[in-house]
Structure 1
Amino acid sequence: MLRIIVIASGLMALGQAAVGAASAEPKYGARTKTLPSIEIRSDEPEVDAFLNMTCVAPLTLDVRIGGEIPKGKGELDPDSLTLSDGTLTTKIIGASVKSPDIEMTGGTMVLSSLQAKGRAIAILTSGKTIEIKPATGASSKVTLGKPATDALKAFIAKCS
């Protein structure tokens, strides 16, 4: 990072010119971050996670959802899922991505960003059976169960 410190008032104009020239060039740094995340996976052997969620900012979650449900090609093609718990319904719009387990399962997921206080999160944490309808294909139903639902609620609370 370039910093210019002007010590004498006579150098002020020179210092300002140098700062102006230096600020015309973009300055970037890089750092590694460990972001809080959660994975919800069936206890069935050799299946994709149903949900991978990462807290990227307060109240903002990057979500990969639906690994157990065939959808999309996993080539960043536009994709969506409709979630319903019988009371609330919402559509998650994103891109089809390969699941982290693609080498074993061949699965894909929908990648999207969601708000922690949005309808999709309300459905995922409702404790009810969730109907998942891919953009194409048949609907599936998932019941996360109390331990997974409670863990998801706690994770989202930490992201808030």
Structure 2
Amino acid sequence: MRKAKWVAAAAGVVLLVAGCGSEGGGTDKGGSSSAGSAATGGSGAGGSSDEKLDAAAVTKELTDAATEAGFTQDSSGEAVPAEAKECMVSWTADAEKAADPAKSYAGTVSTLTGTGWTEERSSGAGGSTIKSLKKSTWKLQASNHSAGPLKLVMFVAVDSSPECAAALAASNAKPQGS
């Protein structure tokens, strides 16, 4: 269990670093985040390209997509600091209980892209797949590491708005265990 939390924290750091750099890596797909704005119905967001998602809407979209694809949530994988709750969402699947974690992962990503998330990058190595998605100011890293002995599938989303960037920087600056 402790190892899964460590991996979750590491994936969150990867997401933050990947979201801050512009070097890319993998396959970069440019484009406007307004492409799927009208398809977000029910998410609480408006239909303009300036739509503003909140953590609750992102959590609902992730939960709906992942459970529809066959995952249940492993709540022990969540490690979002209290001061970052409005700016970060962590959703860890219980990959051990999924009939086919790779198929459920693909289904989750497919549902998300069908509701306005745009795939920006994709990479894979050693049986792991990581996809970076974007919607509004949110960046989502979908990670599938279920091919090996440690079955880990997780989705970490971070709001890249200036307000959240400041809140996350403050959270990251705090000593562990505070």
Identify whether the pair has TM-score above 0.5, normalized to the shorter chain: no
| Structure with the higher strand share, 1 or 2 | 1
Pick the TM interval, shorter chain: 0.3 to 0.5
**TM-score, reference length from structure 1:** 0.33
- Considering Cα pairs closer than 8 Å and 6+ residues apart, tell me whether 1 or 2 has the greater RCO: 2
Greater gyration radius: 1
